[in-house]
Amino acid sequence: MHGMKEIIEEAASLPVEERAMVVDSLLQTLNPPDAEIEKEWLKVAKRRLAELRSGSVKAIPGDEVFAKIRESFNK
């Protein structure tokens, strides 16, 4: 059996997408998702994607979003 340090080192060597999956899987063991809530989030995500694809809403670049957040905390 691997020790915690070896597990972390091995996980850190994975590609970023796989590391994200490992993190998500571990977090779910601490706070298991509620199936009904997950279903509702999936509906929201699909609706938002459809809005983006149809052009009914415009995406805001992440840099702009984070700049506004930083600005609001500096007031």
Q: What is the pTM of this model?
A: 0.54
Mean pLDDT along residues 1-10: 90
Res. 1 pLDDT band, cuts 50 70 90 = low
Pairwise CA distance, residues 51 & 10, whole Å? 39
Tell me the three state secondary structure of residue 47: helix
**Where exactly are the structural domains of the chain?**
1-32, 34-75
How many C-beta atoms lie closer than 10 Å to residue 22's C-beta? 15
pLDDT digits (tens, 9 = 90+) for 14-69: 999 999 999 999 999 999 989 999 999 999 999 999 999 999 999 999 999 999 99
